[in-house]
Amino acid sequence: MKSGFVGIVGRPNVGKSTLLNSIIGEKVAITTSKPQTTRNTIRGIYNDKDLQMVFIDTPGIHKPKNALGSQMTQSALRTFKEVDLILLMVDGHPSEGPGDPFILNMLKDVKTPKFLVINKIDLIPPDAYEQIYLEYESTGIFKEIIGISAKSGKNVDVLLNKAVSYMGEGPQYFPSDMVYDYDETFMVTEIIREKALMYLEEEIPHGIFVELEIYEEKGDLLHIGAVIYCEKKSHKGIIIGKGGRKLKGIGKDARLELEGLLGIRIFLELFVKVKENWRSEDITVKKMGFSDS
Q: What DSSP letter does each residue of 83-150 carry, written as one string?
A: -SEEEEEESS-GGGSSHHHHHHHHHTT--S-EEEEE--GGGS-HHHHHHHHHHHHTT---SEEEE-BT
Class of domain 2-169: alpha beta
What is the residue type of 184? E
CA distance 194 to 199: 9
CA 201 to mean position of chain CA atoms: 20
Cβ pair 225, 219 in contact under 8 A = no
Cβ pair 90, 132 in contact under 8 A = yes
Per the confidence metrics, is the pTM higher than 0.85?
Answer: no
Give, to the nearest 10 degrees, the angle between helix 184-199 and helix 245-262. Answer: 140
Domain ranges of the chain: 2-169, 184-287
> Is 69 exposed, middle or buried, given 0-12, 13-18 or 19+ CB atoms closer than 10 A?
buried
How confident is the prediction along the chain (293 residues), in pLDDT tens digits per residue?
999 999 888 887 788 888 988 998 887 765 655 444 444 466 788 999 899 999 987 765 545 454 545 555 565 566 677 889 999 999 877 656 555 777 888 788 888 999 999 999 999 999 999 999 999 999 999 999 999 999 999 999 999 999 999 999 999 988 888 887 777 888 888 889 888 888 886 656 567 888 999 999 988 999 999 999 988 888 898 889 899 999 999 999 999 988 887 888 999 999 999 888 776 655 555 555 444 43
Given 3.30.70.141, 3.30.470.10, 3.40.630.30, 3.30.300.20, which CATH number is that of 184-287?
A: 3.30.300.20
